[in-house]
Structure 1
Amino acid sequence: MTQVKKHEAKLSRAVESIQPSGIRRFFDMASSMENIISLGVGEPDFTTPWSVREASIHSLESGRTSYTANAGLIELREAISDYMEERFDVSYRPEDEVIVTVGASEGIDIALRSVVDPGDDVLIVEPCFVSYAPLVSMAGGQPIPVPTFMKDDFQVTLETLQEKITPKTKAIMLSFPNNPTGGVMGREDLEKLRDFIIEHDLVVLSDEIYAELSYDQEHVSTAAIDGLKERTILISGFSKSFAMTGWRVGYVCAPAAYAAAMLKIHQYAMMCASTMAQYAALEALTNGRQEMEEMITSYRQRRNFFVKSLREAGLSCHTPGGAFYAFPSIKASGLSSEQFAEQLLLEQHVAVVPGHVFGEGGEGHIRCSYAASMAQLEEAVDRIAVFMNTIKKEG
């Protein structure tokens, strides 16, 4: 009788080498506790505007439940094109330079896979969103971290880039306003990088999902810098600016050759973004701007209060120019980022994210989202102050 051999999972080495998100462990711990104030979630605390929800409902009631074009509804692509030109002064043809994606996350994935060959180096400005390095690895590339520091307001410097460049470097991943630091890069800052990018013939993958959440100066897109548009893939979406995280609708804008390559991947992997979500996104761009501006005003007020309060609690913190995160230094505590976050959670029931999960340069910091109510923020900083006083007494 033939003995049946037990099957052992034959997993991709690239996938096996990737670690799960470091954020998840803290969310799992917090979910089993009571009286938690969570400053860990990276999403707005606002509800999607009613007119946007209504547009999606209407699309369902009208029977608009079939596939759209792979690249997305042409009406939505036209609206995205108009919006990008009006707000950020960058022009893209809706018919062949704009793709509607399943969130900005898919946009990052297809952008990397359309550019990276096995063995290519990709510069990743850190601290950064946790998916960048794993997605580079899964595309066959080698992620090369480029650190930024609080003393520079978490802006990338030309000197640091020059230390990291190699003959194998093909692309650079930028994300401003930045998650987790809230750092921003203005026009002059980006212009300082232009000659370096052109000299080394780099493709720029610019994640601008927080572009609208820029508080002290107007956001300047990398694609708006002279000489960079033709080599830039711009990634954005509706999650942060229109409080539409769960709708999973984003977009990429790029020169036609890059867009065509990304569309190949998108059409096989996703077919198209959700039809109902696309109609909602169209309504957001058409009639949701006022609610967006109200959210931005609220976030600015919360930022000012929260950063001031963190400093009063004994934590050094730069003023984030965008997004909705503070990234204070916790080095004065004598604890590692993970120790600080875990003890703060267990002792004071405040959930934050340890900085090291955003790259090695994030060690010594924690990420705190101020996309929470003022009442929650006030209570959170009171608890953080108690925690810091406890550490001082123990020290």
Structure 2
Amino acid sequence: MRHISGAWHRTAAGAGLIGSDGTIHPTIFAEMSALAARTGAINLGQGFPDEDGPAAVLEAAREAIASGANQYPPGRGIPALREAIAAHQRRFYDLRPDPDTDVLVTAGATEALAATLLALVDGPDDEVVVFEPHYDAYAALVALAGARLVTVPLRWPDFQPDLEELAAAVSDRTRVILVNDPHNPTGTVFAAGVRDEIVRLADRHDAIIVTDEVYEHLVFGDRHVPIATLPGAAGRTLSISSAGKTFSTTGWKIGWVTGPADLVDAVLAVKQFLTYVNGSPFQPAIAVGLGLDDGFFAGAASALRHKRDVLGDGLRAAGFAVSTPAGSYFSVADAAAVGAVDAHAFCRELPDRAGVVAVPLTAFTSPQRRSEYATLVRFAACKRVDVLEEASRRLSALA
């Protein structure tokens, strides 16, 4: 451990990856996946599908490989994909980014987030406001950028932020308000009043809004509303998304950033020293995907909504209380009624008790707030229906 750089050691320690004795610990996802492999349990812990994406997208990748698209693509991404991203933003949201200056292709949304925070945050005097629980990379990336993480709690069962707590968290020290909507891990979709307040606070305190919208097409009610579409927001907002969740191609790692050219240029200046470029044959394939007809996008949301309902019904029948998600892959359940006192311990025991793997919501929270989420567990619905039905049958043993 003495050979780990100070910045990385602080980041890893803050993310719970390094113990007080200096030992490196696996992430909760690696731990639970290992449990699934050891026990033969159904893995509803990690958020990746067990079905392939649309045939046209997969075939386009094969064609790109066969035609020689196997070397470095342009640093901003191939023109066809940047044009497809711009057209997607125009088609769904009436946003009009210039594909030559306002769009950057990245190695998935996580690299986009990393490059964005490293580009925009100047050091320990800067604060990044996030909603908690939060995607586990956020805390590590903020720490790596040298900034201070400020969290706004989302509470069971609706996981909507309190607007007064949000206003108290944002100050003149706030450099970035990081918004994940639809939200991982809770599955909530923020109310219109929350989005409006984020824009108001960003304007008041001259903060940049960074949005993580990877579940934008996996919402179960009204169409997703990007913050960049709100009055006064576009000039201070970087919107991040990716292909992995929409097209069930999480292993391809094709993401993007859109927004004002000067902010995108700042992200590119960092991105070129992270992955440089990425996914040459996958880029034209995702360009094909973004151009699929409306039926595909509606069908993807409808299919996942059905899976959400299958999983939710199974959890309720097993005795869990369930927060019905409005979007994303995930459902959060309260395991207190089936004997949980500590969600982490419950999830470690669940593969042996019921043959199912889940993830404690405390994996997505700071240590000082873990008691608020002590019995809450996240399950992933992005599996085949027959797998979810079998998981429900197994979980019924808990009832």
TM-score w.r.t. the length of structure 2 is: 0.90
- 1:308 aligned onto 2:313: yes
CA distance in 1, matches of 2:353, 2:136: 26
Distance in structure 2 (CA, Å) of the matches to 1:41 and 1:202: 33
1:45 Cα deviation after fit: 2.6
What SS class does the counterpart of residue 357 from structure 1 fall into?
A: helix
1:375 aligns with 2:375: no
SS at match of 1:382: helix
State the match for 1:340 in structure 2.
346
The 10-residue stretch of structure 1 (85-94 or 163-172) with the greater mean CA deviation from structure 2? 163-172
Q: What SS does the aligned partner of 2:247 have? A: coil
SS at 2:333 equivalent: coil
Q: Which residue of 1 aligns with 2:364?
A: 358
Q: How many angstroms does 1:298 deviate by?
A: 1.3
- Runs of 4+ in structure 1 over 3 Å off: 186-189, 287-293, 360-363
Equivalences, count: 379
**1:1-395 residue pairs with structure 2 within 5 A?**
9-17=2-10, 18=12, 19-20=16-17, 21-34=27-40, 36-119=41-124, 120-151=126-157, 153-287=158-292, 290-332=295-337, 333-359=339-365, 360=370, 362-387=373-398, 389=399
CA deviation profile, 1:268-322 (whole Å, cap 9, x unmatched): 2222222101111111112376444333221111212322332232222121000
1:98/1:259 contact within 8 Å kept: yes
8 A contact 2:39–2:351 mirrored in 1:
no
Larger Rg: 1
- 1:334 positional shift: 4.2
Moved more, 105-114 or 53-62: 53-62
SS of the residue 1:252 aligns to: strand
Flag the 1:33–1:94 CA change in 2: closer, same or farther, 3 A.
same
Name structure 1 gaps, 5 residues minimum. Answer: 1-7, 390-395
| Corresponding residue SS for 1:265 | helix
1:213, 1:296 within 8 Å by CA — same for their partners in 2?
A: yes
The AA in structure 2 aligned to 1:365 is L
Report if the CA contact (8 A) 1:52-1:288 is conserved.
no
244-253 or 338-347, which moves further after superposition? 338-347
Distance in 2 (alpha carbons) for counterparts of 1:50 and 1:97:
30
| Contact map agreement 2:80 2:284 (CA 8 A) in 1 | no
Which string of whole-angstrom CA distances, capped at 9 and with x for unpartnered residues, describes residues 220-250 of structure 1? Answer: 0011111111111111010000111111101
Letter in structure 1 aligned against 2:6 = R
- Label 1:9 to 1:126 Cα distance change in 2 as closer, same or farther (>3 A): same
Cα distance in 2 for residues equivalent to 1:57 and 1:378: 33
Moved more, 41-50 or 91-100: 41-50
Q: Which sits farther off after the overlay, 165-174 or 109-118? A: 165-174
Shift of 1:362: 4.1
SS of the residue aligned with 1:99?
A: strand
Per-residue CA distance 1:89-147 (angstroms, 9 max, x = gap): 32211111100001111111111111111111111111111100100000111112211
Question: Given that residues 124 and 146 in structure 1 are in contact (C-alpha distance below 8 angstroms), is that contact kept between their aligned partners in structure 2?
Answer: yes
Give the CA deviation at 1:217.
1.2
Structure 2 CA distance for aligned equivalents of residues 252 and 317 of structure 1: 33
User: What is the DSSP-based 3-state SS (H/G/I as helix, E as strand, rest coil) of the residue aligned with 2:183?
Assistant: coil
**Could you tell me whether the CA contact under 8 Å between 2:347 and 2:359 is conserved in 1?**
yes
2:378 maps to a residue whose letter is R
Relative distance call for 1:363 and 1:335 in structure 2 (3 A) is closer
Could you list the per-position Cα deviations for residues 156-179 of structure 1 after superposition, in whole angstroms to 9, with x for gaps in the alignment? 232111332344221111101111
Q: 2-side partners of 1:40 and 1:102: how far apart?
A: 23
Paired amino acid for 1:150: W
Please tell me whether the aligned partners of residues 111 and 262 of structure 1 are also in contact (alpha carbons under 8 angstroms).
yes
Q: How far 1:41 moved relative to its partner?
A: 2.0
Three-state SS of the structure 2 residue aligned to 1:328 is strand
Q: CA deviation at 1:219?
A: 0.4
Over the aligned positions, Cα root-mean-square deviation in angstroms equals 1.8
Determine if contact 1:49/1:288 at 8 Å carries over to the other structure.
no
State the one-letter code of the partner of 1:149. Answer: R
Cα shift at 1:384: 2.2
Q: Where does structure 2 lack aligned partners over 5 or more consecutive residues?
A: 18-26
Instruction: Using the TM superposition, give the Cα deviation of residue 86 of structure 1 relative to its aligned residue in structure 2, in angstroms.
Output: 0.9
Letter in 2 for 1:211: E
The residue aligned with 1:5 is none
